[in-house]
Amino acid sequence: MTQLTIAKALTNGLRAAMEKDPKVVLMGEDIGKLGGVFRVTEGLQKDFGEERVIDTPLAEAGIVGTAVGLALRGYRPVVEIQFDGFVYPAFDHIVSQVAKMRARSLGTVAMPIVIRIPVGGGIGAVEHHSESNEAYFTHTAGLKVVCVSNPEDAYWGIQQAIATDDPVVFYEPKRRYWDKGEVGIDAPTRGLWSAAVAREGTDCTVVAYGPMVKTCLQAAQAAAEEGRSLEVVDLRSLSPLDLDTLCASVEKTGRMVVVHEASTSGGLGAEIAAAVTQRSFHHLEAPVLRVGGYNLPYPPSRLEEDFLPDLDRVLDGVDRALAF
């Protein structure tokens, strides 16, 4: 096992994918000489050259549009969007072309594009740098959407995303980039498209992904000190959803709280609540509850600690679920 940060696990995962397949190319703003704004691609241009690690102009639509052309020519492009709030200039390409090309061609044309997006708040950034826009993409058929929460999944997940013939929106929680954890370089990997039980429990299931997994594990530890047993499920894949794991957990605990940074209105928590309720209604002791960001634009950095769900808000959601 090797200790790595999430950022370095991604670097190593990208390196491994590039070593395996010469058709893997990286594109993005400042990803070459600078190594990316979070240094995830640091050193890769030096090792693989400027034709495989490509510094692009400040033009997200052009980056993704170029990736479509490369994918049609047999390449596996991995593009980096510097921050979540700047993906919108490329939104039309992603939802109109990238997502639909396979279905449009009756499966004859693959679209193996990975769109890496640092996501979420918590780093004191200005406007457009702290958004959680996953619901736009999970709503779009044809896209796979994942969000990693730890170095192990970052290392293996980016390689699995690159290897798939479907387009993948790959979210990276920016406030967890520097969190360290063990990575089993030689260990067999678990499938990226399935959820994982991060902590077992019996009283209530807490579902999270990306940056909120760590917060929920801390909440579970605090709850345990008060005699409550929380099961924490790391969703990992946001589209498709692993309903088998979610329903197995809620059928054990009888209660579920879904936690994410995005606003609750129209967020992924609403889809999870509906889907789990439909399948496991007779096992529920309480409605599936949601804990998320407020239905407001992301605030100035000095207010973000009040905006983001924290340990107390997660525990308050659990209290409400247990009170039924």
> What are the catalytic residues?
129
Q: Where are the beta strands (DSSP E) in the chain?
A: 2-5, 24-28, 53-55, 76-80, 114-119, 144-147, 168-173, 180-183, 196-199, 204-208, 230-234, 237-239, 256-263, 289-293
Alpha carbon distances (Å) from 84 to 65, 81, 109, 136, 176: 18, 7, 28, 12, 15
Backbone angles phi, psi at 321, to 5 degrees: -65, -40
Amino acid present at 124: G
β-strand partners of 4? 181
Ramachandran category for residue 254: left, alpha or beta (phi over 0 → left; psi -120 to 50 → alpha): left
Alpha carbon distances (Å) from 21 to 76, 154, 264, 322: 9, 19, 40, 50
Quote the crossing angle between the two packed helices 151-163 and 6-20, to the nearest 10°: 30
